Structure 1
Amino acid sequence: MFWSGNRLNTEKRILVPNHPNTAIDCASLVLTIGSEVYITPNSENDSKVKRILTVEEPQFIIPKGQFALLITEEEVHVPNQNIAFISFKAKYKYKGLINVSGFHVDPGWRGKLTFSVYNAGPSDVVLEKGNPFALIWYADLDQNGITNGDYSSNNYVKKDKPITTISSDKITDMTGDIFSPFKLKKDIDDLKEKYHKEIIDIRKEVHAIEGKLLIRTGLLIFTFISLVFIMIRILMK
């Protein structure tokens, strides 16, 4: 059974222990964008490492056709007897952002959540540190996991170290060329522009050559006619 907003409010200090003021949206907790972000490069000049968001520079852009890794500000805890489900807010989906990472959080999880998103929309998306971005729902597991009255000895739980940062491994996994429709369109447009300029330059050269040929042809004809007149005069004498 999924938890209600009232139960989330009661258990909030356990679920997000370092963020007691976390907002509740109906039957979910609201998670915000943290201080780290990684965006796949849109050009050779773009950074190829993660960016640290600050109070002075809290905003960032996910260009259309590019991927991004976003980490939550909140460190989330999923008790052993629960499982959680995650998604980001609908208003970002309407902008074209697609969640390409997981949709659940395992029992026993502790740490921040990392979202991998893709901007499939027609425009760049501007986001900011602290923006309410994602939602997390909690649900109870069945009673089969109970041993000695609780879930503390449940073997089927997450036991990894808490994640608090966007790791270099995640960034490495996203390096390489992104052949998005927008990048392909840009490459095609660049090629069209390049070849259009080359065709114009070739036409100019052809016209210049034609002009030179006309001048030289005219000179040859003039020279030939002059020689004919000279020969006629010589013969008439």
Structure 2
Amino acid sequence: MRLCDQDIKKWILKKKLIITPAPSMKSIRGATIDIRLSNKFRIFKKSHNAIIDLKKSSRNIQYVLKKNMSDEIFISNNKSFILKPKDFVLALTIEKIFMPTNLIGWLDGRSSLARLGLMIHMTSHRIDPGWNGKIVLELFNAGNFILALTPGMFIAALSFEILSGVSSQPYNYKNRSKYFNQESIISSLIYKE
């Protein structure tokens, strides 16, 4: 069962669902809570000869990723990040989310931004029970316009579903919880698998 706006507010007020900084009650509508874009981005370097062979050793993947990723960059709060058509970057939410073990979250892009060609996640829109951290966004400009993304803007919405019970292996329980307590933009850690 998906939580409605009134239930989202109750879960937050009872501290069953923890979001910091605390959201304004105006950002909770219908069945979602709006979340904002931070000023942190990670950009892939342009490379036409870098190949990540996912069957190779973990050291090979780690080397190629480190060589072909830039450092995390920060944009001043009064500036915008320019996302050109067909560009892909990683970004971060302002909000940090702590999910209880009986709740799952879903990240969705805003329709108004999607109509301009902005995708905010490629495939990873699930927020697992037991998750704690800021959410990394996989931003892709599929449109024809250059998009100026401003820190603090509403970038996405979260919705929540109650599980049929408490998860026996929540995200923070797994041996491979690679991104738990994420505060910065961590690039792919697939080489740890």
Please classify the TM superposition score into its range, dividing by the shorter chain length: 0.7 to 0.9
Kindly report which structure 2 residues correspond to 1:55-134, keeping only aligned pairs within 5 A, or say none. 55-57=77-79, 59-98=80-119, 99-134=121-156
User: 3-state DSSP class of the match of 2:10?
Assistant: helix
TM-score (norm 1): 0.61
Q: Is the 8 A contact 2:118 2:143 kept in 1?
A: yes
Higher relative CO (Cα under 8 Å, sequence separation at least 6) belongs to 2
Instruction: Say yes or no: does 1:34 pair with 2:38.
Output: yes
Give the C-alpha shift of residue 78 in structure 1: 1.5
Which secondary structure state, in structure 2, belongs to the residue aligned with residue 75 of structure 1?
strand
Q: Aligned partners of 1:124, 1:95: CA distance in 2, in Å?
A: 10
Aligned partner letter, 1:10: K
2:29 alignment counterpart:
25
- Matched residues in 2 for 1:102 and 1:4: separation? 23
Which structure's residues are more often helix, by fraction?
Answer: 1
Question: Match of 2:168?
Answer: 155
1:41 deviation in Å?
A: 4.6
Structure 1 counterpart of 2:97, which letter?
A: V
Q: What is the Cα deviation at residue 42 of structure 1?
A: 6.4
Asked if the contact 2:39/2:77 (under 8 Å) is kept, the reply is: no
Using the alignment, how far apart are the partners of 2:87 and 2:189 within structure 1? Answer: 13
Give the conservation status (yes or no) of the 8 Å contact 2:18–2:99: no
2:127 & 2:76 partners in 1: Cα distance?
A: 28
The unaligned stretches of length 5 or more in structure 2 are: 48-68
- How far apart are 1:172 and its partner, in Å? 11
Query: Which runs of structure 2 are paired with 1:221-236 in the superposition (5 Å)?
Result: none
- Shift >6 Å, 4+ stretches: none
Q: Secondary structure at the match of 1:10?
A: helix
1:57-108 CA distance string (max 9 Å, x none): 3x11111111011110000121101111111111111111223141211111
Distance 1:36 1:172 in 2: 22
Query: Percentage identity across aligned positions?
Result: 19
CA distance in 2: counterparts of 1:104 and 1:37, whole angstroms: 21
Q: Tell me, yes or no, if the aligned pair for 1:85 and 1:136 is still in contact at 8 Å.
A: yes
* Conserved? CA contact 1:101–1:117, under 8 Å: no
Paired with 2:77 and 2:139, the residues of 1 have a C-alpha distance of: 23
Per the alignment, residue 50 of structure 1 pairs with: 72
Change (3 A) 1:48 1:127: same
Q: How many residues align?
A: 159
Counterparts of 1:97 and 1:21, CA distance in 2: 24
8 A contact 1:72–1:113 mirrored in 2? yes
Q: State the TM-score, normalizing by the size of structure 2.
A: 0.74
Cα-to-partner distance string for 1:131-175 (whole Å, 9 max, x where unaligned): 0111111111113xxxxxxx3xx43210133111002x34999xx
Structure 1: segments with no counterpart, 5+ residues: 144-150, 174-237
